[in-house]
Amino acid sequence: MSKVKFELEFPIHASPSMLYQYFATPAGLEEWFADRVNSRGKLITFIWDDSEEEAKIITKKTDERIKFKWTESEGDDSYFEFKIQVDPLTKDVAVIVTDFADDEEDAEEAKMLWQNQIEELKHTIGA
């Protein structure tokens, strides 16, 4: 079964290098994304209350993007990615979140979850 891909764009008033730390380091991710984050090389464990999820870092480019793949979804093309985009003219910074859901209904739920998570990030960094 193919998954539904979606992208969300969030303007954030922060420098790309600062933002990248919140996406690419366990300490940064713990500030807004998960209760605890453990890293063993490219394998990242995200811990929330009673649940634990593992993801692998697929690609990363400092201050630009990081892409993760949940280990439980090895058999499909899904991933989630944080991409930092800077407008060349205005220098406005935006974060583009790409993720996948099982269907349109799950995608709507996931979009709301990401909006809440990014609001938490903005609150954390004072943006």
- Per-residue DSSP letters for 84-102? EEE-TTT--EEEEEEEEES
26-82 per-position pLDDT tens digit: 999 999 999 999 999 999 999 999 899 999 999 999 999 999 999 988 888 999 999
CA distance 13 to 29: 18
pLDDT confidence of residue 1: 60
Choosing among 3.30.530.20, 1.10.10.10, 3.30.980.10, 3.30.870.10, the CATH entry for 4-125 is: 3.30.530.20
Percent of the chain with pLDDT over 70: 99
CA distance 101 to 109: 9
pLDDT at 19 over 80: yes
Sheet containing 65-70: give its strands across. 4-11, 93-101, 80-86, 65-70, 51-61, 43-48, 36-40
83-97 per-position pLDDT tens digit: 999 999 999 999 999
Where do the H-state alpha helices sit in the chain?
16-24, 26-32, 104-125
pLDDT confidence of residue 127: 77
Report residue 6's pLDDT band, with 50, 70 and 90 as the boundaries. very high
**Mean pLDDT on 108-117:** 96
pLDDT at 114 over 70: yes
DSSP 93: E
pLDDT confidence of residue 80: 96
